[in-house]
Amino acid sequence: MNHTLTTEQRVALCKAAVVRIRTMLRESPGDWRDYVNLAHMVTQHLETIPLAQVGPLNEQTWMIASLQQLALLSMSDSTLAGVAMWCSRAWLGILVREQENLAALHGVGRLWLARAQPALTRVHRIDGSNSSSGSSSRPSVVSFTSSEDERQSLQATREAEARVGMPDYIEARGFLQPATEYLERAVASARSQNLLSGDLLSVTAESYMSLGNVSSPRVNEDYYRRAVRLLRAATLLPDYTLSRYLSGYLEEYGRLTVSNIRALTASLFGVAAGTLGLESYPGFLFYFIGTAVVSVLIFALKADSSPKAYFFRPVGDLWVGDLFGGLMSFVLTWTLFYGLCKA
């Protein structure tokens, strides 16, 4: 591209180059390194051209989004860091003029999320595969079934609390907090325009999941719950299917929530049955009726009367999940309090 060309000619050449980049991304994304120099040349020329001269707003967002899609492929090695920075400045320029522009909010949020990935990779190496960690990518569930489980849970929580002060965790939070803020604004903007998409909801949920992974156990459950609500909203959209990973996350969250509630209520039912002096079959009937009531409450309050959004097997996971697993806790507390009341 020659600087002696007119602005219109340079804009036309930039658009033609972006079309080539988009074609590559669609047909052979593995060849993205062959287009690095071209992307740098485009952004260098666009730096000298007011964005308004590129064309209407939809053409501006099209060019920025295309270049950002390429830049996101190399965030781990900074090959296209300059292109990513140009995209960020361009999006922010649009937001100065239109504070609720959906494409710009989504674009800035995605860039912040991408910038967090190197730190998140290091955090993942620190955490390893310790699923009991408070910074696990799955919501934590406190066990009520034994003092040993409770001791291990408290130990894991203390370890997780200590890790969140490490530099990599702090760095990741520094990127993820603005990512969630911009993406939340994008979700609100999309909802107001009736343009909500599964991709936007999913990436916003992933940002909250990642933020929960690097945050204190005292607050990360709020981030996990927000992620679950976003994923559930995505499942309700027609013609959209969550990835296997996100579907598994949603299912496990529901399953662990049910397991936690079952463990607690089984012990409470045992206390009630023992205090009432129930014996034999009436005691077991009391347990099964109480468990059925709990399932109805979970269905109405936790699953929002839509269990398919949280469970792959609603009948097995919600209605009979851990039904017999909590029976031992029920029997133990039942016999204990029965003996105490009869003594």
pLDDT per position as a tens digit, 271-309: 999 999 898 888 889 988 988 888 888 777 766 666 766
Q: How confident is the model at residue 261 (pLDDT cuts 50, 70, 90)?
A: confident
DSSP code of residue 236 = T
Among 116-130, 167-181, 318-332, the range with the most confident prediction by mean pLDDT is: 167-181
- Res 59: pLDDT: 92
For residues 234 and 202, is the Cβ–Cβ distance under 8 A? yes
What is the DSSP secondary-structure string of 291-307? HHHHHHHIIIIISTT-G
- For residue 253, pLDDT beyond 70: yes
Measured distance CA(15)–CA(169) in Å, rounded: 40
Global confidence as pTM: 0.76
> Which residue type does 164 have?
V
- The overall average pLDDT reported for the chain is 85
Residue type, 137: S
> What percent of the chain has pLDDT above 70?
85
Q: Give me the torsion for CA of 114, 115, 121, 123, rounded to 10°.
A: -130
| Position 62 confidence tier, pLDDT thresholds 50, 70, 90 | very high
Stretch among 43-52, 145-154, 187-196, 199-208 having the lowest mean pLDDT:
145-154
Tell me the mean pLDDT in the region 237-255: 84
What are the tokens at 259? Answer: 């397991």
Confirm if 235 and 312 have CB atoms less than 8 A apart: no
The pLDDT of residue 310 is 64
Name all contacts of 290-297 with Cβ < 8 Å and 24+ positions apart.
Answer: 290/265, 291/262, 291/265, 291/266, 291/323, 291/326, 294/261, 294/262, 294/265, 295/319
For 126-136, write each residue's pLDDT tens digit.
Answer: 876 444 444 34
The tokens describing 155, both together, are 């130990």
Distance from C-alpha of 168 to C-alpha of 214, rounded to nearest angstrom: 9
281's tokens: 């079959």
| DSSP-derived 3-state class of residue 138 | coil
Q: Name the band, by pLDDT with cuts 50, 70 and 90, for residue 12.
A: very high
Closest to 71 measured CA to CA, from 85, 51, 90, 92: 85
Give the residue among 134, 210, 323 at the shortest CA–CA distance from 142.
134
